A and B are shown apart, each in its own frame.
Chain A
Amino acid sequence: DAGVIQSPRHEVTEMGQEVTLRCKPISGHDYLFWYRQTMMRGLELLIYFNNNVPIDDSGMPEDRFSAKMPNASFSTLKIQPSEPRDSAVYFCASSFGPSNTQYFGPGTRLTVL
């Protein structure tokens, strides 16, 4: 298995632009998680899905952030409009079952100028 795939690996954009991060979970996994990592706040959960349905989005910073999972093989995290404080590494993870091991992707390093 290729593991969790994320794209792009690096994204540099200007403040105010829309940013879309993509994730392909491991085939057969029914849970998908989006995390953000910054120096100040460490790793924090943004949102997670079960069988493509968003279950808990309480970690999403504000309305500028949105996430979708149109099918079991694909999820997006969108920021519109982006701000410099959104600069971080965004990780996607998937698991089979709610409490089982989570497998993380390589992350997307986002820089908002």
Chain B
Amino acid sequence: DAKTTQPNSMESNEEEPVHLPCNHSTISGTDYIHWYRQLPSQGPEYVIHGLTSNVNNRMASLAIAEDRKSSTLILHRATLRDAAVYYCILRPWGGGADGLTFGKGTHLIIQP
């Protein structure tokens, strides 16, 4: 499976934008880029996903590099509730349900 690389941790201030990077240099043409996050003492939750074009939803934006070898999850205005571990995961389109392969993710710390 194609792997992803994320920084272990990042710190940001409340109400400022946060850019969480993910490298996936071995991504295949049919891999979707998914982001999940895990708030303290909770199960992971879906954030956003995309294939080639940038994507926006109510939680975040996903910017995908033109060569698709990297992507960035953008939280436009971080709040204390956004403090979590963020996971960047590749999933093949139309593939079988192999489950989600979680790496170590990025531990996002939000300072008030």
- A residues lining the B interface (CB < 8 Å): 4, 31, 33, 35, 42-45, 48, 50, 55-56, 59, 91, 93, 95, 98-99, 101-107
A94 to chain B, nearest CB (A): 11
Determine whether B91 belongs to the interface, using a CB cutoff of 8 Å to chain A: yes
Name A's interface SS.
strand
Among B94, B98, B101, the most chain A Cβ lie within 10 Å of the Cβ of B98
In the complex, what's the smallest C-beta–C-beta distance from A73 to chain B, in angstroms? Answer: 19
Known: A91-B43, A93-B43. A45 touches B99 (CB 8 A): yes
Seen from chain B, the residues whose Cβ lies within 8 Å of a Cβ on chain A are 32, 42-46, 49, 91-104
Chain B interface mostly? loop
A95-B44 Cα distance, complex, nearest whole Å = 13
Checking B49, B98, B103 against A56 with a beta-carbon cut-off of 8 angstroms, the contacting residue is B98
Of B32, B42, B94, B104, chain A has the most CB atoms within 10 Å of the CB of B42
**Complex-state Cα separation, A11 to B77, whole angstroms:** 38
What are 19 sample pairs from A and B whose C-beta atoms fall under 8 A apart?
A4-B43, A33-B97, A35-B99, A42-B103, A42-B104, A43-B100, A45-B98, A45-B99, A50-B97, A56-B99, A91-B43, A98-B95, A98-B97, A99-B95, A102-B46, A103-B45, A103-B46, A104-B45, A107-B42
